[in-house]
Each structure stands twice: as C-alpha cells, then as structure tokens.
Amino acid sequence: MVNPLLHMNKAADFMLYLKRELDLLVRTHAEHVEVLNCTKNSVAIRLYNLGKRPTTYQILVNPDKLGWASSLTIDTIINEMKPAHQSLKTNSIYAGFVINTAKELMAQPCDGNKRETLKNFEPLGLLYRKREDADLSP
C-alpha cells in the first residue's frame, strides 16, 4: 500500500504505484500516448504527433540515502509541438501534484501513433532520429 505522503514510501514502491496509475490513464488515450519504464526510479510519457517526433516527458523519483522517496521531478525531454504541448521542469514533494500534472500532460492533443512515427523516425533511446528515406510532407 502506498502512503499519500511521498516521503513515507520507498522509491521503488512509489514507482510501481506511479506506473500503475499512468497505465490506467493510457487506456483512455489509446494509441496516442505511451508510458515507458526508463530506470528503476523513472518512467517516461510519450505523446505521438503526426509527422513530428513524439513529445517525451520523464518523471523521476529522487530517493534519499536510505531509499525513501524524497521528491519527484517532471522534465521535458523533447517537445517539437510548442506551444500546443507544454514544456516544463518541476520538482515537488507532493505525489498528488505530480500525478495530476502527468494527467494534464497526457491529455494534451496528439494525433499520431507509434506505427506512423516508426515510418519516419528510428528510435534512439528516449529520442528519435529522422530516417533518411522519411517523407514528412503533409
């Protein structure tokens, strides 16, 4: 059971809780949004855009020396959809704030999917590189 007070949870336990919460949200956004495990202390949210690289956000749980969650960071990795998609970097000690912010980020408009993205871009870690044979004309 995860305690609503962030600092009362082990970082790994909170990551499992966060991933589960975000996976439930992905079901409502179908193929436009994806949640990925990055490391044991972070997840990434990807919003697929037609003809552009996916907007990618990372949520990182910052543990203290004993492994307890001390704060959360949300960071924008890539955003080619400015101003339609929000760019941010924020820290918080409040789990509810970070989860609500993630929900808002996932609700942003996106019109692409992974299959279409892979036609024009090739994965490079959390980023994507344009394919040489890509046709990005509208």
**Length of the chain, in residues:** 138
* For residue 5, pLDDT beyond 80: no
Lowest mean pLDDT of 40-44, 78-82, 100-104, 134-138, name the range. 134-138
Q: What is the pLDDT of residue 56?
A: 92
Q: What is the pLDDT of residue 8?
A: 65
Whole-structure pTM value: 0.86
User: DSSP for 21-50?
Assistant: HHHHHHHHHGGGEEEEEEETTEEEEEEEET
Rounded Cα gap, residues 138 and 135, in angstroms: 9
* For residue 23, pLDDT beyond 90: no
Question: Are the C-beta atoms of 90 and 101 separated by less than 8 Å?
Answer: yes
**Per-residue pLDDT tens over the stretch 84-132:** 889 999 999 888 888 889 989 998 988 888 888 888 888 888 888 888 8
Q: Which secondary structure element, helix H or strand E, spans residue 76, and what is its range?
A: strand 69-78
**Per-residue pLDDT tens over the stretch 70-86:** 889 999 999 888 888 89
* For residue 3, pLDDT beyond 80: no
Q: What is the pLDDT of residue 43?
A: 92
Give Cα 2 to chain centroid, integer Å. 21
